[in-house]
Amino acid sequence: MKNRVLFNLIARRYGLWIAGILLVLITIWIVRWRRPESMDWQFIQAFGIRLPMRYGIHGIDVSRHNDRIDWARVRKMEAYGVRLQFVFIKATEGATLSDKHFKKNWREAKKSALRRGAYHFYHPTRDPLKQANNFIRNVDLSEGDFAPVVDFEVVNGQSDETIVNGLRVWLQTIEDHYQARPIIYTNGNLYRRYIKGNLDDYPLWIADYSASHLRSYNPDKLYLWQHNQSGLVQGIRGQVDFNVFVMDENRMSEICL
């Protein structure tokens, strides 16, 4: 109704042709500049979730909880022009544990031409140096792989100082060994309490399932966004974590060997 009234007012003053052109331009402006952020998302039935389509590089992360994976099917899957291009694979946890499917997943992901990365689940109650050495013993990285990732999502009742200092030891030890600055994976609450202001020099991978934008994080360090944990992928049983690379595509090399 409002559009019709606006059209009639313009038509009386400027004529029908000009009124039509102006109305089209006004509509384009409204759609482009006043559209809700939800329009940047698209529900992709094949993956079972909404994907933030403003980004072009999509990937997943997996662990032993995903059981045996058919990597050829994972790589071949495509829906609405979206194909998975990278994967992060759990390698180790704590000071002694290793993921029972890591070696096979690591090998098969490379055969499937997916860019791969390995992550360590960090326990603040364990010796950070022993945890770093556990990762080093189990993970050999090649050129093009993502830098190592520390998965920081539990505090186990430890003090802020213990957590920050322990993470710093792990990160520095890993960087010295691989000659690549590690990536920190965490959620918004832990980022604000422990990472921000303490470990700002490291690339960030944030898990945030509630936001359609990431303005509250450092735009110069935020590279990866885990936006959903309920995706579906051919070749993988059950639900899968979905991620996107949020920087310009030509900056991918900044977090790779």
Q: How far is CA 49 from CA 115, 133, 168, 222, 226, in A?
A: 22, 37, 35, 23, 13
Q: How far apart are CA 182 and CA 199, in angstroms?
A: 11
249 tagged catalytic: no
On the CB side of 13, CA atoms within 13 Å amount to 8
Q: Which of 61, 93, 99, 151 is catalytic?
A: 61
d(CA 232, CA 102): 20
Known catalytic residue: 201?
no
Distance CA 84, CA 78 (A): 8
Instruction: Pick the catalytic residue from 67, 140, 153, 220.
Output: 153
Contact criterion met (CB below 8 Å) for 44 and 50: yes
What is d(CA 45, CA 189) in angstroms, rounded to the nearest whole number? 31
> Which sequence positions are flagged as catalytic?
61, 153
